A and B are shown apart, each in its own frame.
Chain A
Amino acid sequence: MGKRQNLWGYTFLAPQLIGLLAFSLIPVLFTLALSFMKWDGFGAKEFIGLANYIDQFTEPDFWKALVNTAYYTILVIPFSIGISLAVAIALNKIKGKDFYRLFYFMPVVTSSVSIGVIWMWILNGDFGILNQVLANIGIDGPMWLTDTKWVMPSIAILSIWWGLGHNMVIFLAGLQGISRSYYEAADIDGANKWQQFRHITLPLLSPTTFFITIMAIISSFQVFDQAFVMTSGGPAKSSYTFVYHIYEAAFVDFKMGVSSAAAMILFVIILIFTLIQFKMSQRWVHYEDQ
């Protein structure tokens, strides 16, 4: 490692390194520091120790946001994974795969705001197309976005639809990585399609499934745009999510310390899921080596 090498290395790294320090590392440390302070964003900062954290755990809004976000995650994950896996398996060996993929993936590229506006129109309780379709088959649809019971399921339906193509494409890649020879061998052994799925596809696809599940949980915990655009967190805070709470504390209530403490809690939650994924992925590498 000569001096020249060091100079070249840091020259090439410089722009991203400055970015890393200025827009990620320093801000994270800053958030950590602010989480121990009381500050309205303008006046003097006051060190108050763990008070913001203790305050959060006794704050109804914090729990509301946490429960709403967890509820949303529980609603989204099984359907999102199940449906995208089913579609991927259906598409895996079918003619016209590219044609179908084009349509299933389309929502993924569209912005959250456009999606939100479109679904406000579809889910409108009085004249939305969904309730009109349901009326045709004799179901009296609920007031999707203004009923406190239905608002989170509504946002979940939208999110499942929005992200289906994304997970499907990753599942498809995983499926294509499974060697055909396993199925041919199973055919010779007389295994039926269900047995093949149960004993070949599912186990060999499990690393992909696990990756998708963890990534989906992490992104579920960051849900914000849809709730902000469609319901503004309402009615009665029933779609008030964790990131909404962080946003509102900082930019509506100007409680920078409270917002920072909530952000650090989100960071810890995501850190835990990331570490689980990291640990488990080490196990798969081991498993595949056998």
Chain B
Amino acid sequence: MKISDAQTKTIPNQQVSIKLGKKIKPTRILLHIVLIFGAFLMVAPFLWTISSSLKDMSQIFLVPPKWLPDPVTFQNYPNSLTAMPFGKAYFNSFYITGLVVFLNILTCSMAAYAFAKIRFYGSNVLFILFLATMMIPKQVTMVPLYLIMDKLGWIDTHLAIIVPAGLFNAFGVFLLRQFIRGIPNELEEAAVLDGANPLRIYWSVILPLIRPALAAFGIFSFMGIWNGFLEPLIYLSTPEKFTVPLLLNTFKGLYFTDWSLMMAGTTISIIPVIVVYIIAQKQIIEGIALTGSKG
């Protein structure tokens, strides 16, 4: 075993990095140039969208294209806001997403607590059932769900989106269970000795301790629902009830020749999610990394 022999001669990490840091390698500079170019390719479509939204139609088809609008016009924004009920769609998306995130955090953490800390009849079988449903693509249940919503009278209402998403999230149950399992039993036992029942333990011991996990999961849930397209597409038919992505899609159908207006509409639709991303990027990225490491 070559590696383990050599391991005994390991140089401390710090020394190595100090050594590397002192040399300015040309390959490093080249790497930065490539990475900056790559980063530009990742944001260029957004910059181009915003730039186009500030142009009038005469500038939008210029060859060669101009990155900076001249003159800058803001008229596309009020125009797209009056052409379509974007304000209403914002409101719909926000409250649908808010309710789903709240329901998800509450009900998933409850189920996760039950699976992690309470020994009850059938818990293993039920947990496996939860895990198994994670591999059912949502398109498989599309038709029956539509029929169920129809029976409940929820077609063309937001309930058809809120209730299934809010009350069922196997990934959330699994993720939070992993966190709750990490909490030492001693804490719970101490609470039991003080006369606390499971409801009390869940609320006063478990929930405060898993706050970071709840935050990460909440942001995931936010992204998933805010960006959701298939469910609104299937269930909603009244434009006043549309969510932002669904309204943008309709907007596209009606105004696809007026590109400056389209780009203003698209910019309006991406702003909230980019703002949330910039505020919460650390949690989002760490959360994604976590889903990968569970492998």
- The interface of chain A, by Cβ under 8 A from chain B, is 1, 5-6, 8-10, 12-13, 15-20, 22-28, 30-31, 34, 87, 90-91, 94, 96, 100-114, 117-122, 127, 129, 132, 136, 161, 164-166, 169-174, 177, 180-182, 184-186, 188-189, 207-208, 210-212, 218, 221-222, 224-225, 228-229, 243, 246-247, 250-251, 256, 259-260, 263-264, 266-267, 270-271, 274, 281, 284
Tell me if B143 and A117 are in contact (CB < 8 A). no
B273 in contact (CB, < 8 A): yes
- Residue from A119, A161, A172, A266 in contact with B137 in the complex, judged by beta carbons closer than 8 Å: A266
A1→B120 contact, CB < 8 A: yes
Per a CB cutoff under 8 Å, which of B147, B169, B229, B281 touches A112? B229
Q: Tell yes or no: B259 within 8 A of A by CB.
A: yes
* Residues in chain A near residue B45, CB distance under 8 A: 107, 118-119, 122, 161
Q: Is B249 an interface residue, CB under 8 A from the partner? A: yes
Residues on the B chain within 8 Å of A118, using CB: 45-46, 48-49, 266
* Extra pairs beyond A106-B277, A281-B295 (7, CB < 8 Å): A12-B111, A20-B133, A127-B63, A132-B63, A165-B42, A184-B10, A185-B3
CA distance A107 to B269 in the complex (A): 13
CA distance A164 to B10 in the complex (A): 35
When distances are taken between beta carbons in the complex, the residues of chain B under 8 Å from A6 are: 120-121
The 9 closest A-B pairs by CB, nearest first: A9-B120, A19-B168, A170-B292, A19-B167, A185-B6, A173-B289, A30-B144, A27-B141, A27-B144
B41-82 toward A: CB 8 Å interface, digit per residue (1/0)?
111011011001000000001011100000000000000000
Q: Are B295 and A208 in contact (CB under 8 A)?
A: yes
Question: Please, which residues of chain A bring their CB within 8 A of the CB of B120?
Answer: 1, 5-6, 8-10, 13
A-B pair number, CB within 8 angstroms: 303
How many Å from the CB of A263 to the closest CB on chain B?
Answer: 4
> Is B178 in the interface zone, CB < 8 Å from A?
no
Chain A residue nearest to B103 in the complex (CB):
A15
Give the distance to chain B from A228, nearest Cβ to Cβ, in Å. 8
Say whether A263 contacts B292, CB under 8 Å: no
* Shortest distance from the beta carbon of A52 to any chain B beta carbon, whole Å: 12
The residue that A188 contacts in the complex, of B9, B130, B147, with Cβ under 8 A, is: B9
